[in-house]
A and B are shown apart, each in its own frame.
Chain A
Amino acid sequence: QSALTQPASVSGSPGQSITISCTGTSSDVGNYNLVSWYQQYPGKAPKVMIYEVTKRPSGVSNRFSGSKSGNTASLTISGLQAEDEANYFCCSYAAGNTLFGGGTKLTVL
Chain B
Amino acid sequence: QVQLQESGPGLVKPSGTLSLTCAVSGVSITSSNWWSWVRQPPGKGLEWIAEIYHYGTTNYNPSLKSRVSISLDKSKNQFSLRLGSVTAADTAVYYCARRTSSVGWFDPWGQGTLVTVSS
A contact residues vs B (CB 8 Å cutoff): 1, 3, 32, 34, 36, 38, 44-48, 51-52, 57, 89, 91, 93, 96-103
| B109, A46: Cβ atoms closer than 8 Å | yes
Q: How far is the CA of A93 from the CA of B106 in the complex (A)?
A: 12
**Does B26 make an interface contact (CB < 8 A)?**
no
| A48, B106: Cβ atoms closer than 8 Å | yes
A45 in contact with B112 given A3-B45, A89-B45 (CB within 8 Å): yes
- Majority SS of interface residues in chain B? loop
Q: Smallest Cβ distance from B100 to chain A, in angstroms?
A: 10
Contact partners of A89 in chain B: CB under 8 A = 45-46
**Does B79 make an interface contact (CB < 8 A)?**
no
Q: How far is the CA of A103 from the CA of B107 in the complex (A)?
A: 18
**Does B111 make an interface contact (CB < 8 A)?**
yes
- Chain B interface size band reads 20 to 34
- Other-chain contact of A34, B103, B108, B109, B112 (Cβ < 8 Å): B103
Contact partners of A97 in chain B: CB under 8 A = 48, 61-62
Contact partners of B106 in chain A: CB under 8 A = 36, 38, 46, 48, 91
| A100, B61: Cβ atoms closer than 8 Å | no
Q: How far is the CA of A93 from the CA of B101 in the complex (A)?
A: 11
Q: Smallest Cβ distance from B55 to chain A, in angstroms?
A: 17
- 8 further interface pairs, Cβ-Cβ under 8 Å (given A46-B109, A97-B62): A45-B110, A51-B107, A57-B107, A89-B45, A91-B106, A97-B48, A97-B61, A100-B45
